[in-house]
Amino acid sequence: MPGLELPRNLVSRLVSPDADGEQRAWSAELPAIAEELAGRWSLRLGQPFQPGGQTAWVAPARSKAGDRLVLKLAWTHEEALHEAEGLRAWNGNGTVLLYASCTVGRATAMLLEACEPGTLLSERLPPAEQDAVLAGLLRRLWIEPPPDGPFRPLTVMCESWAAEFEQEYATAAGRGEGRLDPGLARAGIELFRMLPETADQDVLLSTDLHHGNVVAATREPWLAIDPTPYRGDPAFDPLQHMLNFPDRLAAGPGRFTDQMAGLLDLDRKRLRHWLFARCVQESAGKPWLRPIASGLAP
């Protein structure tokens, strides 16, 4: 498959100055990997979904029997491990079904259920109804982690992101750039490190569920896709959804927090602390989060 088409978002990522050398090497392997798996799994592949994502090649496929499927070839990197294992643990309970998976070169290959019509949640429902759909899916995803599973504790992610924030914050100071108040930054990032350690629940987490990762399907009205599984505090899981609504956060972060906490039966104070800490952690690259962090500070 020498002329394998790439999704536009992936192309943009590969030509950017920030592209990882390993990711470029993975992209060069994609034609051979797709050809190998088409033969191994008896697939007829279509063109990739557009505009696609930045770390995977995903395309419709047909089995030898004519069944509609999806082939996903994901770049295997540290920040996105164990998607296949998570989908296997959930077994279609709120998520897309996984039929087969393997590792080929730098790619994690997954043969997935085709979700039709596949419309994104963000394109179908108003925000308040999206909240309810997300909450319903999250409640189903929060299962006990399999005892033999490979899932990393949430502390691993938070420690890595906290270290990145501290480096970015120090760099901004050296350049004389705008940044969050130092006391607020210190309090937020300390909380970001502490919260995973003080959770009284340990569940399997999606960590990246938002209205762009929920699609309309026929088996169920809505299914989650593209999880990044970790294990830990369920109060972390609604944050990415909330951050995807900057206008709602700016207009009333406390009201938004209460809404999601009520839908998910979470402690409102704990979710507010998580949102404050996450806004601090993201504030180095997203200045619009700084006033929100200030307003949420304990």
Residues carrying an active site annotation: 208
Q: Quote the longest CA-to-CA distance of the chain.
A: 62
What the block records as the tokens of 298 is: 């304990």
Distance (Å, whole) CA 6 – CA 28? 11
**Do the beta carbons of residue 30 and residue 107 sit within 8 Å?**
yes
What is the 3 state secondary structure string of 86-155?
HHHHHCCCCECCEEEEEEECCEEEEEEECCCCCCEHHHCCCHHHHHHHHHHHHHHHCCCCCCCCCCCEHH
Which residues lie below 8 Å from residue 234, measured CB to CB, with a gap of 6+? 138, 142, 201, 203, 205, 264, 266
Distance (Å, whole) CA 223 – CA 190? 35
Beta bridge partners of 204: 231
Distance (Å, whole) CA 214 – CA 223? 6
**Do the beta carbons of residue 198 and residue 121 sit within 8 Å?**
no
